[in-house]
Amino acid sequence: MSVKSEPITINLGPQHPSTHGVFRMRVTFDGETIIDVEPIFGYLHRGSEKLAEERTYTQVVTLTDRMDYVSSMLNNQGYILALEELANIDPKPRGVWLRMIASELQRIASHLVAIGFLIQDLGAWGTPLTYSMREREKILQMFEMLCGARITNSYLRPGGVFMDAPLQFWESLNAFIEDFPSKVEELENLLTSNEIIFSRTKGVAVLTAEQAINASITGPILRSTGVDWDLRKTDPYDYYDQVEFDIPTHTAGDNYSRYLLRVQEMRESLRIVKQCVEKIEPGPVRPHHDEVPNLVRPPKGDCYTAIEGSKGELGFYLVSDGSISPYRWHVRSSSLINLTLLKDMLVGTLFGDLFVTFGSIDINMGEVDR
């Protein structure tokens, strides 16, 4: 016998602790089953794209920090690559290796946040989050040595990085490379074959490859559906064609595979960092003022450059009118676009799965609203 119930609509957010910022959803339930989801954005909209039009090209780097504030280095990298292409700047090799080290460390930090909060959303208060935050802290301290800031780094400059890494940084980095694999294992021992995590995440919110590609979904979510699409391999930028790494993929496309994929990607990122440390050679970290002035004036034109961010394809579209500030700056935000299928993923699942699915998509409101 089935019991009919009245649909009820609930507002979740914008100040709900599990929404990872100021995200708001209007969710309609039938009993405990979700029948409709309407995401509502804009609570963190600061008009970054308009602000950039009144700043110089180098000043815009600070705006990218404040977009996805758990992966600032990656945002810096994406923007600087677009600017270098637009202004025909030739980067210095040491600067490029340094920014690859920085951005791969940032990818690890971002995935640690994603995993930590995903498990937190599952109801495992404390331990896994503390473990992942402990490792992230080490990375943030290394960033502090590099540029003096932990979150809003602004470490990259056109043609390289702001300054060379101090001796202390290399010591910490070597210790981290030594230590991190055992820490990932520790985290995995707790989570990967955990019965509760199995039953809560396996087969929940399944996406197929066709659905994901059609909705422009990229990054770990696309790779969890079995597509080996990683811009570091398919469209290499910086020196990613000179390092060896694999693209982990899964075919299930559910919440569990998205979690597992991030763990594997952290190991691959560490592999890249190791190779960068071996290949880096002494030299200048950015071009001299005479080559690239502080006020960059790219020739008239436009360019679109995309990198593999921690959450997917992070694209920057820059239009120059020949002046010292961008005529138009657009960010292809992977966080926003990865939410396109939120409704399809959630409808039919239960209330308890809502935030687990949401956590496994891994968005950052700073990048969604910009």
Partner 1 sequence: MKNWNGITLAKEINSHLEKSVLDSNDNDVYVDPEKIYQVMKFLKETSGFSFDLLSSITAVDYYDHFEVVYHLKSLITLSKATIKAKVGYGRQDEPKIQSVYSLWKGADFQEREIYDLMGIKFEDHPNMKRILLWDGFPGHPLRKDFVTNDQSIVEDSKK
Q: Which stretch binds partner 1 (CB under 8 A): 11-19, 55-63, 229-237, 350-358?
A: 229-237
Q: Which residues contact 129 (CB under 8 A, 6 or more apart)?
A: 116, 117, 119, 120
Choose between 130 and 234: whose C-beta lies nearer to partner 1. Answer: 234
Burial 119-149 (b: 16+ CB within 10 A, else e): bbbbebeeebbebbeebbebbbebbebbbee
In whole angstroms, the minimum distance from the beta carbon of 20 to partner 1 comes to 18
C-alpha pair distances (Å), 298 with each of 51, 167, 251, 330 = 19, 35, 44, 16
What's the one-letter identity of residue 369? D
Q: Is 238 left (phi over 0), alpha (psi -120 to 50) or beta?
A: left
d(CA 144, CA 128): 24
CB atoms within 10 A of CB 317: 17
**Chain residues 127-186 in contact with partner 1, contact rule CB under 8 A:** none
Does 213 participate in binding partner 1 (rule CB under 8 A)? yes
Q: Which of 24, 36, 41, 152 binds partner 1 (CB under 8 A)?
A: 41
Q: How far is the CB of 44 from partner 1 (least distance, A)?
A: 9
- Told to check if 239 binds partner 1 by CB under 8 A, we report no
Q: Within 335-364, which residues bind partner 1 (CB under 8 A)?
A: 336-337, 339-341
Q: Does 217 bind partner 1 (CB under 8 A)?
A: yes
How is residue 350 annotated by DSSP? B
Q: At what angle do helices 93-122 and 127-147 cross, to 10 degrees?
A: 160
Is the CB of 34 or the CB of 341 nearer to partner 1?
341
> Which two structure tokens, joined as six digits, stand for 13?
């957010």
SS (H, E, C) 221-284: HHHCCCCCCCHHHHCCCCCHHHCCCCCCCCCCCCHHHHHHHHHHHHHHHHHHHHHHHHHCCCCC
Quick one: tokens of 236? 């290499």
Q: Which is nearer to partner 1, 33 or 340 (CB)?
A: 340
Site for partner 1 contains 330 (CB under 8 A): yes
Smallest separation (angstroms) from partner 1 to the CB of 43: 9
Q: Does 42 bind partner 1 (CB under 8 A)?
A: yes
Q: Which of 130, 168, 189, 214 binds partner 1 (CB under 8 A)?
A: 214
Return the axis-axis angle of helices 255-279 and 167-191, rounded to nearest 10°: 160
Q: Please answer whether residues 42 and 24 qualify as being in contact, where contact means their C-beta atoms are separated by less than 8 angstroms.
A: no
* Contact region with partner 1 (CB under 8 A), list: 27-35, 212-220, 254-262, 347-355: 212-220
Of 168 and 214, CB closest to partner 1: 214
Is residue 208 within the footprint of partner 1 (CB under 8 A)? Answer: no
Min dist. Cβ of residue 333 to partner 1 (A): 9
- The binder of partner 1 chosen from 163, 319, 324, 350 (CB under 8 A): 319
Instruction: Report if residue 328 touches partner 1, rule: CB under 8 A.
Output: yes
> With b meaning 16 or more CB within 10 Å and e meaning fewer, what string describes 160-191?
bbbebbeeebeebbeebeeebeebbeebeeeb
Decide if 143 contacts 74 (C-beta within 8 A): no
Question: Smallest distance from the beta carbon of 272 to partner 1, in angstroms?
Answer: 20
- Would you give the DSSP letter of residue 17? G
The nearest distance, CB 45 to partner 1, in angstroms, is 4
Contact call for residue 304 and partner 1 (CB under 8 A): yes
Q: Shortest gap between Cβ of 313 and partner 1 (angstroms)?
A: 7
Stretch that binds partner 1, among 45-53, 74-82, 244-252, 268-276 (CB under 8 A): 45-53
317 binds partner 1 (CB under 8 A): yes
Q: Among 18, 36, 37, 49, which residue interacts with partner 1 (rule: CB under 8 A)? A: 49
Summarize as ranges the residues that interact with partner 1 (CB under 8 A): 41-42, 45, 47, 49-50, 54, 213-218, 227, 229, 234-235, 302, 304, 306, 313, 315, 317, 319, 327-328, 330, 332, 336-337, 339-341, 369-370
